Amino acid sequence: MARTGRFPKGAARREAILQTATEVLSRDGFQGTSLRAIGRELEVEPAHILYYFDSREDLIQNVIARWDDNALESIGGDFLPGETLDNYTAIIRRNLEIPGLVHLYLIFAAEAVDATHPAHGFFRDRFDRVRGILSAAVRFEQAAGRIPAEVDPDRAARMLIAVADGVQLQALMNPAIDAPADLESVIDHLRSQPPAV
């Protein structure tokens, strides 16, 4: 079992491994990053990394979790419901500045579809959390009259996640694609739908 770094020296070492792994994955991408490559950057053997993390997958999951948590901080902290949808596009814009991590996220999320994958629960919970944030934002905007009441907030949230992930994938393949602008267009369409009669 990997150590969680309860003592200051261990916690600092675990943090250094996590930071270095993030840098290497951002630079070299998922396929180009091994525990040996991360170890070379740290000047340690891969076994030293596995003292703090259960496996390469555990380390990658921790990198993604840290990246995800930092997304909120990067746009000023917790979302305010009235700003959430617009801030969601800001996160996508930030993501595309670190394409290695976006690629990592997309690959790892696809692999985690398998219920036996170590990150399956993490991604299921992550999608539930993001859907909850976005559906609450849709409900808020419905109450403010910006989105028609007939829109299903949960379905809208799932569609926004699908668009965000899909346009990021397309932008990785073709950098000319403006993924945040595409997401903004979908949000504008959601806000401009005429109410049902």
pLDDT string in tens for the chain (197-residue length):
555 555 567 788 899 999 999 888 888 777 777 888 898 999 999 898 999 999 888 898 899 888 888 777 666 566 678 889 999 999 999 888 888 889 889 998 999 999 998 889 999 999 999 999 999 999 999 999 999 999 999 999 999 999 999 999 999 999 999 999 999 999 999 998 766 55
Domains present along the chain, CATH in parentheses? 1-54 (1.10.10.60), 56-192 (1.10.357.10)
Residue-by-residue DSSP string for the chain: ------SHHHHHHHHHHHHHHHHHHHHHTTTT--HHHHHHHHTS-HHHHHHHSSSHHHHHHHHHHHHHHHHHHHTTSSPPTTTHHHHHHHHHHHHTTSHHHHHHHHHHHHHTTSTTSTTHHHHHHHHHHHHHHHHHHHHHHHHTTSS-TTS-HHHHHHHHHHHHHHHHHHHHH-TTS-HHHHHHHHHHHHHHPPPP-
Query: For residue 190, what pLDDT is reported?
Result: 94
